[in-house]
């Protein structure tokens, strides 16, 4: 089976030798696979790897479980983890926006700060399946030509090495590598 992760890394030049990369780690199958895949090429590219987990404080005990899972997973891989707890429902209410939009804004603000602090790229776990879903949503909403592009493989310091991986590939990768992950009940 071909490796769509490496295909994306090479095709879009997402990683270069001596890069520092922080993975946006939710604990789900996609981000767990992404961190594991980057660890597998760490020596080849001489990477410095980090992870960042944002606890949005939306799902109570389930969110705490996800955070703890990420801590343990990073410890097992010897990856430094940055954890941020941010009360997204409170901020969303104050700013009169949806919790979904607020969560996205908070995440990208934290990614931006960490990227500047560590001089690193931020790797998000957007997949081919996410890309197709975004494209369909954009089409239903009535999009311009820009919307037909859906999720770009790179934007500034954000890279998306899983952009050529579909859901089946991710699930198979987790099985083959005995990777546990958590499932967000709201996703």
* Whole-number pLDDT of residue 139: 40
Residue boundaries of the structural domains of the chain: 4-173
Interval 90-142: pLDDT, tens: 999 999 999 999 999 999 999 999 999 999 999 999 886 554 444 444 444 55
How is domain 4-173 classified at the CATH fold level? Rossmann fold (3.40.50)
Residuewise pLDDT in 10s, the chain (187 residues): 489 999 999 999 999 999 999 999 999 999 999 999 999 999 999 999 999 999 999 988 999 999 999 999 999 999 999 999 999 999 999 999 999 999 999 999 999 999 999 999 999 998 865 544 444 444 445 555 554 556 677 989 999 999 999 999 999 999 999 999 998 766 5
* Whole-number pLDDT of residue 131: 41
How far is residue 35's CA from residue 49's CA, in Å, rounded to a whole number?
Answer: 9
How far is residue 154's CA from residue 109's CA, in Å, rounded to a whole number?
Answer: 17
How far is residue 103's CA from residue 63's CA, in Å, rounded to a whole number?
Answer: 13
* Whole-number pLDDT of residue 9: 97
Sorted by sequence, the CB contacts under 8 Å of residue 128 that are 6+ apart come out as: 4, 162, 163, 164, 165, 166
Residue among 169, 166, 160 nearest 126 (CA): 160
**Full 3-state SS string of the chain:** CCCHHHHHHHHCCCCCCCCEEEEECCCCHHHHHHHHHHHHCHHHHCCEEEEEEEECCCCCHHHHHHHHHHHHHHHHHCCEEEEEECCHHHHHHHHCCCHHHHHHHHHHHHHHHHHHHHCCEEECCCCHHHHHHHHHHHHHHCCCCHHHHCCCCEECCEECCCCCCCHHHHHHHHHHCCCCCCCCCCC
How far is residue 18's CA from residue 120's CA, in Å, rounded to a whole number?
Answer: 10
């Amino acid at each position: 089976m071909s490796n769509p992760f490496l295909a994306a890394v090479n095709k879009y030049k997402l990683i270069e030798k001596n890069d520092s990369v922080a993975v946006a780690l939710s604990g789900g199958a996609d981000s767990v696979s992404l961190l594991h895949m980057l660890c597998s090429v760490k020596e080849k590219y001489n990477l410095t790897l980090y992870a960042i987990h944002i606890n949005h404080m939306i799902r109570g005990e389930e969110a705490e479980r996800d955070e703890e899972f990420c801590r343990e997973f990073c410890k097992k891989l010897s990856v430094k983890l940055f954890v941020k707890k941010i009360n997204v429902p409170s901020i969303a209410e104050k700013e009169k926006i949806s919790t979904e939009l607020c969560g996205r804004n908070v995440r990208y603000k934290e990614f931006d700060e960490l990227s500047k602090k560590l001089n690193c790229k931020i790797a998000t776990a957007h997949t081919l399946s996410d890309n197709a879903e975004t494209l369909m949503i954009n089409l239903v909403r009535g999009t311009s030509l820009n919307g037909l592009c859906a999720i770009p493989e790179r934007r500034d310091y954000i890279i998306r090495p899983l952009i050529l991986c579909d859901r089946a590939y991710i699930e198979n990768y987790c099985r083959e590598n005995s990777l546990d992950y958590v499932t967000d009940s709201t996703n």
